[in-house]
Amino acid sequence: MNLYRCSPLRFIWSSWNYVGNWIYSSEDSSDDTIVPEVPIEETMDVNQIISEKEVALWLEDNPEWFENFVLKHAKRDLIQRWLDNEEETGKVSPITNSILSPTVGKNKHQSVFIGGVIPSQDTPVVSSPSPVLSTPSSSSYSTVSSSSRKNELSDSGDKSESTSSDEGVVPPARQRSGSRQYLRQDFARARSKAVFRTWAGATEGSIESPDQLEPGPLSPSDSSDMSNYNGKRRLRRASTVPPPQLYVSQLSQLLESKILRAPHRTSITRETKLKLKSANEREFFLALVKDISNDLDLESLREKITSNVGLLMNAQQVSVFLKEGPQSNFISKPSNTPSSPIFKFPPHIESLLSRGSSYEDDTPKQEPVVVRCGEGMIGRVAASGDCVRIEVLVKGSAQFREVEALLSVQPESILCQPIKNSEDDVTGVALVINTAGAGNSFSSEDEKLLETYLTFCGISISNAQVFDTSMKEYDRNKKLLEVAHDLFEEQTCLDNVVQKTMQRAQSLLHCERCSVMLVKDPNAEEVTINKVFHLSGSFSNGHASPSLATCDGKPPNGIIEYVVNTGERVNITDPMNDPRINHEANQDFETKSMICMPIRNNKAEIIGVAQVLNREDGFPFDENDEQLFEAFTIFCGLGINNTIMYDKVSKSMALQKVALDVLSYHASSNQQEVDQLKVARLPDIKRLRLTKYDFDDFSLQSDEMLRAALKMYVHLGLLDTFKIPFQVMCRWLLTIRKNYRTVAYHNFRHAFNVQQVMFAVLENTGIRRYLSSLEQLSLMVGCLCHDLDHRGTNNAFQEKSQSALAQLYGSKATMEYHHFNHAVMILNSEGHNIFANLSSEQYSEVMKSLKRAIISTDLALHLKVRNKFFDLVKTDGFSWSKYDHKELMMGILMTACDLAASTKPWKVQQKIADLVTSEFFDQGDKERAELKIEPTSMYDRKKKNELPEMQMGFIDGICLPVYQGLAKIMPNTKPMLLGVKANRHKWHDLNEQRKKKKASSNK
């Protein structure tokens, strides 16, 4: 027959012209090149005769064209008949397979979805160019499996999406474009999609360079060269706006669930179930069981049970009540699926479905039906677990009125059956209304059949509930971990911490509103709100928009004040009848349920109140919501407390920095003082008797001590050895003097006298040959700095008073660590670093030696190490060549120089003893007045007459053993031993005189 006169081909060709005109008629000149309509005479021979077999072969060779044609013109009932036929036969032809199967290629086969590419199974295909006509090649689009497509077609009535399949060469996956031409093609292929993307998103299979392009046309303008294509591709990308890339933290990726979704078994169509019912009731029952066996989604399972029970019972309406909600009520949600063949949608709904509209989108949302356990017929069945079957229901009876009120239907016959789990607990109730069976009433056989099927339903519901609980628990733990992560990540801004916590709480509790109110003063009698954070249910770009109000006023309702005053959490299920809530304050919002909880700080003080309003599902908040929200309030309290602490610490650090700047300015010597010391004449060592152990500690004035100290460093050659600038040395000495406080004894004079004794030891004993110049420098500097910034109190007082120094350095060698750090601070000040010209190794060594030297002046530490020294003395085992022995000796030398006042001539010793006891008594007065404790005898002013006895005990227990051991290793230090013995004898005489006076006074 003539090809053109062949009615199928003529119809197809005319349809193709119609499709082409519809697609390309309104394209702008900026879009891809329009393919002109080709005259029929240029593409075929009108005298050519083609058989029906050849037409079929050509259609098989061009499945993409056939796919477009079917999607455009096929009727819904035609597709449904084809699906039913394929369900029975299980056969799929190459052409029809292209409609519901993924696009495949020859080598690396891929299924192309909107916005990306996923791998698919390899399947061999055959293709050849069309001998009749040539059409523009389209790219592949979204695909679904045949089973899921059948379900969509049978349930929703939407048109099927399609894919294309070529043989031999597979066109590359075209990126989505903003071109109107391709938008029309997208609409034709994916009409069932409510929204589809039009942006060129980067995917794993997306084209990024011309080298990745496989041969094959990409658009109607594929006759242009590759550069033209790339330019148009970039133009399309620039003209479309991709969605915002949401930030996904590493924690969110780490916590990503391994279960992407609940296992879901696609339901077979109602028509198939009906055919099975009429053909084989046993197979029909097994099909209904299999339909629910692998579905762990509660809502989907509820729909399936409702539909299957309706088919099984030939019921007009079925309602499935599942045990859920705050008080374990039984809740039935409206179903959009007809229960049985006798059920019909209203005419206006049928018309909407015939046009492809959604029933849910065009009908008012129905509220779920809630039945309390034990109330009414359904509640009694749930409580007792017994079935209720009423063959003929009397109009006006209690059961009739209950069913009519709950479900808005007039029942004639009902069957109410409990759904039980494996432990025989009632988890739901199935209410079946009006049957179309024999006698139009339910029989005992119907009751047994329903009981059998509901047994399987109970198992499936239990599995789904367990899965749902585990997923909720996972989601809860994930959200709480994310909240903890947010708290550690953001501690600088109070507003950000509270708002992040509120957003997490709202997203997990699924509430309409969330608020946090901070209390101005937790200890005030009247509750005053300082800040109010409010997060409503309005979303913008997927995020709720928080609001912040700063105010000083009363709480908005009595609930807030009640929670602040009592510290109790409040869960209100009926706010409308609660007199504590001010309904006039917010008339635009109806409060249906509320949870209000206190927010506490680390001292358990209530610093705020958090509340959530109205669950999105309409139910009141339950105990699980309370527990979860309580966890959020704990995290919120921690976050607020940490932020407040961080703010205080930041302010304290800033204040400290300012204070250090001020102190450093006033504690540093000025240039005039430096210039005066720099040009001053340094004294003679012998004239001042600086090398003598009996040097008079009170013989020099303050400026004279500075010049004498400078002379010691010059005499030892330390300035030349370590290239210490003379001006830097002068400035450092002046600043050291300024940083000693004017206390009775531990002042700059004491530091100078200790350094003088060390200088005398170095000059008289010959130990300089055993000590390096760096060690000598560290000993001299350590002596002058060992009591820097002394406050006139000892370590025990710092610990008792919990002073800032004790908190900073701890209870061991508190003041000594402070002295060292203060010395380091002065060295780090500009123009004061006398170690500046040392190498890095020398600098590290001298700082370690300096720290050991200063720390060793702590008598508590001395008492721990002195036994080792005494053992070496007794056994003559001391050796300067051993580093640990030398390090131990340097520490003993620091202690000996620090206690050298006990070796001075008696007049000097007696004067120093008065200064020391005066400082000790001042500390005792502070302990009695500030700490409310009684001081020890040495610090008690009331026992000043016992000074000689206390001095004897101090010399015998501390001083004498040190100088005895030192004299054995270094005999030239024997004058110090003799001096301490002579002073001990003087104190003994004074003590004897005191005893005699005391004895005579007692008589």
SS3 546: strand
Q: Residue 186 is encoded by which pair of tokens?
A: 């997208």
Write a three-state SS string for 83-103.
Answer: HHHHHHHCCCCHHHHHHHCCC
Report how many helices (DSSP H) and strands (DSSP E) the chain contains, helices first. 37, 14
User: Which residues are 414's β-sheet partners?
Assistant: 390, 433
> CA nearest 409: which of 474, 334, 329?
334
Pairing of strands 511-519, 543-553: unpaired
Determine phi and psi for 556, rounding to 5 degrees: -65, -20
Residue/partner pairs of 66-71 with CB below 8 Å, 24 or more apart: 66/95, 66/98, 67/98, 67/99, 67/162, 67/163, 67/164, 68/19, 68/138, 68/162, 68/188, 68/189, 69/12, 69/15, 69/16, 69/19, 70/99, 70/162, 71/99, 71/159, 71/160, 71/162, 71/188, 71/189
Closest CA to 828 of 651, 660, 653: 660
- The number of residues in the chain equals 1003
Angle at 385 between CA 384 and CA 386, to 5 degrees: 90
Question: 288 is written with which tokens?
Answer: 């209904």
The one catalytic residue among 109, 746, 818, 832: 746
Is position 746 annotated as part of the catalytic site? yes
Angle in degrees, 0-180, between the axes of helices 960-969 and 883-898, rounded to the nearest 10:
130
Helix (H, G, I), strand (E, B) or coil at 762: helix
Long-range contacts of 559-567 (CB under 8 A, 24+ apart): 559/594, 559/596, 559/611, 560/517, 560/527, 560/529, 560/596, 560/609, 560/611, 561/527, 563/596, 563/597, 563/598, 563/606, 563/609, 564/519, 564/527, 564/598, 564/606, 564/609, 565/527, 567/598, 567/606
Helix (H, G, I), strand (E, B) or coil at 495: helix
CA-CA-CA-CA dihedral for 783, 787, 788, 794, to nearest 10: 170
State the sign of the Cα–Cα–Cα–Cα dihedral 523, 528, 530, 533: positive
Distance CA 160, CA 152 (A): 8
- 660 vs 654: CA distance, rounded Å: 10
Which of 869, 887, 688, 696 lies closest to 779 in space, CA to CA? 887
Asked if 490 contacts 642 with a C-beta cutoff of 8 angstroms, the reply is no
Integer Cα distance of 980 and 972 in angstroms? 15
* Sequence letter at residue 605: E
Between CA 759 and CA 708 the distance in angstroms is: 11
User: CA angle, 846 as apex, 842 and 852 as ends, to 5°?
Assistant: 150
CA-to-CA separations, 359 to 157, 367, 887, in angstroms, rounded: 10, 16, 91
Q: Could you give the CA distance from residue 567 to residue 601 in angstroms, rounded to a whole number?
A: 13
What is the spatial distance between Cα 500 and Cα 249, in angstroms, rounded to a whole number?
A: 14
Residue in the structure block whose two tokens are 């012998």? 686
At residue 276, the 3 state secondary structure works out as helix
- 3-state SS, residue 961: helix
Active site residues: 746
